Amino acid sequence: MRWALVKVCLAVTAMVVIAFAVPLGLVIREMASDRAFSDAERQAAMIAPALSITTDREELTRAVLSTEPGDRGRLAVHVPAPEKAADGTEGEALDIGTRRASPKDVATVRKAGRASITEVTDGFALLQPTALSTGDIAVVEVFVPEGEVSNGVATAWLILAGVGVALIVGSVAVADRLGVRMVQPAQRLAGAAHDLGEGRLGTRVPEEGPTELRSAAVAFNSMADQVVQLLANERELAADLSHRLRTPLTVLRLNAASLGESPAADQTRAAVEQLEHEVDTIIRTAREQRPQTQGIQTGAGAGCDASEVIRERMGFWSALAEDEGREVRLAGVDRTVRIPVARPELAAALDALLGNVFRHTPEGTAFAVDVHHSGDAVIVLVSDAGPGITDPEAALARGTTNPGTVGSTGLGLDIVRRVAESTGGDLRIGRSVLGGTEVRIWIGLHGTSPDRGRRGHGRRVARRFGRPRRKEPRTTAGPATSGPS
């Protein structure tokens, strides 16, 4: 398409240049010829006053030589012989200067009484009739060299040719740029359609180019957004179902643990374990599909109020904590804290952390959730007074490097980590001042990196529980049976 446009533009411009340049070149040649012969007529008129006064050879010779063309040998005067005098003598015809025109041409001009141009050797001769005082007609001949007739024509034609070539080159360049402006958006649109067909859902097309291609780009982007939204709704439904099942499964597993030892109790616990495995499979499948939509910017409505979500989830888990005799503390949720995380994702992350507390700590173990707003980030701390984790690095890596570890899927912490990293934050596991595990979620509000120097949050949690601050963290009483999921 691009080269076709260039060829069409080249052909049209060439025809326009030829249509104008050829007639203009002919006009320039005619103008140069007219200029040369006009000068010759002016030079011939210079000798007319002398002819009207005298026909004496010496006088006319001096008059001819006094002019520029006469001095250069380009002017001649042809005076006819006078009629017979009364005494019967005949006059003599005068030819002054260098003759180039034939006698026949001179006689024809004298008889016709009109100026004429005749071709001679190396140029042209202008024959101008002039009346004498005697009533006869003299002919003034002015020689015009061929070079003067075409003087400046070659230069003018070269200039015309240069202008024509410049116009053609310029039009080709403009056509090429226009072709690029039309072809590149079309190529980008075709490439984006190919990428979208291969599953790269973050592909979008810049809305550039001609009006038609901009409209096509807008339609393509709208279609891609709808596809992404449909897939996101489907995955959100699967994730929501799995999260809704995980929470009652935790309660069911804890209740099944209190059934004692009997075949029915063992079957119940086995069924609960199998059901948890199926839920983990659903979560893992949804997690493996999530990278397909990475890079898609979410709108302003994708965020949520972290305080509201945390209060809601803590209200759910508080009932189970009361049944198990766990002391619960919640702080920092008394004001609105907007974060760039979707509500279901934050709820799933919080449920994963609180589910770990109930799953991996004994009954009666206290825990706390602390929310801190630092201006450019929101930090959520989930602390417990359990046995702690002997290897936090291994626990963080389990969800990404070895999801199949026995005793833990690693999916819970992986969900939390993805939520934090999607905002430019991170997830860390450490020792809380309550004696157990402290999980810190750093959620960036503006895509900034975590501040490595944030401290003191665990001390505030300890003061809310009434525990004294310790200079050294308490060592773990023994290795945990399994890391958090």
Where residue 400 falls among pLDDT bands split at 50, 70, 90? very low
Please report, for the chain, how many H helices and E strands are present, in that order. 14, 12
CA distance linking residue 21 with residue 383, whole number of Å: 89
Please state the rounded mean pLDDT for residues 70-86: 76
Q: Which residues pair with 439 in a beta bridge?
A: 382, 429
89 band by pLDDT with thresholds 50, 70 and 90 = low
Specify the pLDDT at position 292: 43
- Residue 465: per-residue pLDDT: 43
Residue of 258 and 428 predicted with greater confidence = 428
Q: pTM here?
A: 0.41
> What pLDDT is stored for residue 368 in this prediction?
93
Whole-number average pLDDT of the chain: 76
Q: Measure Cα distances from 412 to 356, 408, 469 in Å.
A: 8, 9, 30
Rounded percentage of the chain residues whose pLDDT exceeds 90: 7
pLDDT band for position 443 (cuts 50, 70, 90): very high
Give dist(CA 342, CA 303) in Å, integer: 5
**Confidence grade of residue 467 (pLDDT, cut at 50, 70, 90):** very low
Residue 453 has pLDDT above 60, yes or no: no
Residue 5 has what pLDDT? 64
Beta bridge partners of residue 147, listed in sequence order:
none
Instruction: Give the residue from 273, 284, 307, 224 showing the smallest Cα distance to 409.
Output: 284
- Give the model's pLDDT for residue 442: 92
Whether the predicted pLDDT of 112 surpasses 50? yes
In angstroms, what CA-CA distances link 255 with 248, 275, 319, 336?
Answer: 10, 15, 14, 36
pLDDT at 371 over 90: yes
The answer for residues whose C-beta is within 8 angstroms of residue 229's C-beta and 6 or more apart is none
pLDDT for residue 439: 92
Alpha carbon distance 84, 78 (integer Å): 19
pLDDT, position 409:
47
Q: Residues 178-222: pLDDT tens digits?
A: 777 777 778 788 888 888 888 787 788 888 777 888 888 889 888
Which pLDDT does position 381 carry in this prediction? 93
pLDDT digits (tens, 9 = 90+) for 274-325: 777 777 777 666 655 554 444 344 433 457 889 999 999 998 898 888 888 9
CA distances from 319 to 238, 313, 326, 384 (A): 26, 11, 10, 17
Rounded to 10°, the helix 153-197/211-257 angle is 20
Cβ proximity of 88 and 130 under 8 Å: no
Rounded Cα gap, residues 73 and 60, in angstroms = 14
Q: What is the dihedral of CA 402, 403, 407, 411, to 10 degrees?
A: 140
Structure confidence at residue 236 (pLDDT) = 65
Instruction: Say yes or no to pLDDT of 341 above 60.
Output: yes
pLDDT of 144 above 80: yes
φ/ψ of residue 476, rounded to 5 = -70, 135
420-434 residue pLDDT tens: 888 888 898 988 888
Tell whether the model's pLDDT for residue 253 goes beyond 80.
no
DSSP H or E segment with residue 202: none
DSSP-derived letter for residue 385 is: -
pLDDT band at 91 (very low <50, low <70, confident <90, very high): low
Which residue did the predictor score with more confidence, 412 or 289?
412
Reported confidence tier of residue 441, pLDDT bands at 50, 70, 90: very high
Q: Name the phi and psi angles at 25, rounded to 5.
A: -65, -40
**What pLDDT score was predicted for residue 172?**
79
